[in-house]
Chain A
């Protein structure tokens, strides 16, 4: 195996506002980079093939499934995960609304939904129910039937206005 050894790549990136230098195997996903290299596990793996949205992160203003992005691709980019949503002053209005509206049961999909929904509200402060359902179509939840998630996003949008 030694002769096949692939060299790690130095990557400079910003995760939740913190600039950092990391060493990443070139074949490793951003999801694995966050969880195993940087050590933040709020971003979850549900399928590892871009179909569940549990690993959604915000990459330079766009939401992506971090399992479909390589760790080396975030060189020079800004990555925002669920860990970056709350501030020392408190929860993001979406996080608060998810709690108040009981928009989570098991909670494994919640980080992905929060990151997705934040990207929506960052650009569209008052989305309709239809728009919310369209926007969240890439995030699977098996517990709630989405009802309370849609209501929580709607509530947070009204709050942040």
Chain B
């Protein structure tokens, strides 16, 4: 099982624990599994079949650029975080 950490505001709003566990062959289907356990989460993470604008997924320390098709082999933790603006 992969350890999942959702953003503070989603946890607060939907009453999700700080750390949850889920599995999935890729990010899309992992999110579907989270949705099964915690209905409502998917709306915060996915929009029009993509990771929602303003949302990023950090998979074992690396922010995915592939989004929902990112394959999850040998992954131990995923952090969903607000994406970060800035950079110069």
Asked whether the complex places CB atoms of A and B closer than 8 A, the reply is: no
Interface residues, chain B, CB within 8 Å of chain A? none
